[in-house]
């Protein structure tokens, strides 16, 4: 079986897909990973084969992402038409500041049918030439579903977090009349419609949601969904690195990891957050290992009990740690769960963090932090509680048990084989 993965060009998105891609490859299937040329090196470093998508006019540079962010007026209009409640502000923020931005980068809406379509044409050309049996795609790149339909392949989304797309689509359907009266276009389907029409493909919900969805999130982190879902345990995967000798030696005092994720390293400095967290751990009888780069540390004083290393895989670091302080990204959260490490999750860094923090609290596996609302003494007290109260370690074991009960990527491979063999499900959502 030939399987084509399409991934939005961020290492954090790639890392979610790698374990399943390697499991398919180990079973003897041919695997290709298509993305922006800038991600090709990261793909090949995993042992997978990259397809660098090129197009006439060139692919948008990732540094231009700010050009695609919805304006404040558009965001507020959507909030009003969708009647977003205070309890839904996290989902709305994630959709309107991140998901729509990533969607529009490679699915531009103001193109004539004869214009080159970067992010779409290369995918369709490759799929028609290679003829995959199955296309598994990042929800930020639904043009892969167009390529699947053009080449006759079965296709499914592979999520990397809660299904915000489903939440947004439900809002569109529930408030369709209000959107029409206000002249508001469907923000999800409209960018995809241009690509679909270019290839005489119907722009329907199957292009947005796949014929089924592979969901690697824990059950109590998921948003309500009506899509066909195949659950899969998310395995923590990170880029390789050389393990330093000091990590293998027993630490004389509790070791605490501090990580703000891969995307934070690449796209923002987190200067206020970094300063607050370093001030929190300063002077405590702990050894902090902070995986921060030079840009994140600009203008910040590093305490004596903090060891800075620009990059160290969490799979190597966390087995030697008593706790982790992090930004609430899905990959970091999963790594902590997999290694049964109690967590302190900073919830100001993005709306996704609140979902993971709430999950950790429900299991007694961690506590939230807010560097904008909590004082340094308050954050320090929470860290000491997580380190000294054995109930947090028991909670981390409880969370691990839920995670371990999910099917692994290797377990999912036979299910994918059967689904492709049986033929694609009927179009649309059940």
- Give the residue-averaged pLDDT of 398-409: 97
Q: Which residues contact 280 (CB under 8 A, 6 or more apart)?
A: 325, 376, 379, 380, 383
Say if CB 209 and CB 429 are below 8 A apart.
yes
pLDDT of 148 above 80: yes
Say if CB 350 and CB 328 are below 8 A apart.
yes
CATH 3.10.180.10 fits 2-233+407-422, yes or no: no
* pLDDT tier at 289, thresholds 50, 70, 90: very high
CATH superfamily placement of domain 245-405 = Glycogen Phosphorylase B; (3.40.50.2000)
* pLDDT tier at 428, thresholds 50, 70, 90: very low
pLDDT one-digit tens code per residue, 82-133: 999 998 988 998 999 889 999 999 988 777 778 888 889 999 999 999 999 9
Please tell me the predicted confidence (pLDDT) of residue 57: 66
* pLDDT tier at 269, thresholds 50, 70, 90: low
Q: Where in the chain is the domain with CATH 3.40.50.2000?
A: 2-233+407-422, 245-405
Q: What is the mean pLDDT of the chain?
A: 91
pTM of the predicted structure, to 2 decimals: 0.93
pLDDT one-digit tens code per residue, 44-66: 999 999 999 986 667 888 888 88
Please tell me the predicted confidence (pLDDT) of residue 403: 97
Please tell me the predicted confidence (pLDDT) of residue 323: 98
């Amino acid at each position: 079986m030939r399987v084509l993965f399409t991934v939005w060009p961020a290492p954090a998105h790639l890392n979610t897909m790698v374990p399943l891609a390697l499991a398919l490859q180990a079973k003897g299937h041919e695997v290709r990973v298509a993305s922006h040329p800038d991600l090709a090196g990261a793909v090949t470093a995993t042992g997978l084969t990259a397809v660098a998508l090129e197009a006439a006019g060139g692919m948008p540079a990732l540094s231009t992402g700010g050009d695609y962010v919805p304006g404040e007026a558009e965001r507020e209009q959507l909030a009003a038409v969708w009647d977003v409640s205070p309890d839904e502000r996290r989902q709305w923020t994630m959709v309107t500041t991140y998901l729509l931005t990533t969607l529009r980068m490679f699915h531009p809406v103001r193109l004539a049918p004869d214009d080159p379509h970067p992010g779409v044409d290369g995918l369709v050309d490759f799929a028609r030439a290679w003829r995959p049996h199955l296309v598994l795609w990042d929800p930020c790149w639904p043009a892969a579903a167009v390529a699947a339909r053009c080449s006759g392949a079965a296709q499914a989304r592979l999520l990397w977090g809660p299904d915000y797309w489903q939440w947004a689509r439900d809002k569109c359907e529930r408030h369709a009349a209000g959107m029409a009266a206000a002249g508001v276009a469907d923000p999800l389907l409209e960018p995809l419609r241009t690509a679909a029409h270019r290839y005489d493909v119907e722009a329907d919900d199957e292009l947005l949601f796949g014929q089924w969805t592979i969901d690697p999130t824990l059950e109590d982190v998921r948003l309500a969904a009506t899509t066909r879902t195949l659950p899969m345990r998310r395995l923590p995967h990170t880029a390789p690195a050389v393990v330093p000798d000091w990590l293998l030696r027993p630490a004389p005092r509790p070791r605490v990891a501090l990580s703000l994720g891969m995307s934070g390293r690449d796209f923002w400095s987190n200067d206020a957050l970094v300063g607050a967290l370093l001030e929190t751990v300063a002077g405590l009888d702990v050894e902090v290992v902070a995986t921060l780069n030079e840009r994140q540390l600009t203008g910040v004083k590093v305490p004596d009990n903090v060891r800075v290393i620009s990059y160290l895989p969490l799979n190597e670091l966390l087995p030697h740690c008593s706790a982790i302080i992090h930004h609430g990204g899905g990959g970091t959260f999963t790594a902590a769960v997999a290694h049964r490490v109690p967590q302190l999750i900073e919830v100001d860094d993005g709306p996704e963090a609140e979902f993971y923090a709430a999950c950790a609290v429900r299991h007694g596996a961690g506590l939230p932090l807010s560097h904008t609302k909590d004082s340094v003494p308050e954050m320090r007290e929470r860290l000491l509680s997580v380190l000294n109260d054995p109930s947090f370690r028991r909670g981390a074991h409880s969370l691990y048990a839920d995670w371990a009960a999910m099917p692994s990527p290797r377990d999912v491979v036979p299910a994918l084989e059967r689904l492709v063999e049986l033929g694609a499900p009927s179009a649309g959502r059940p």
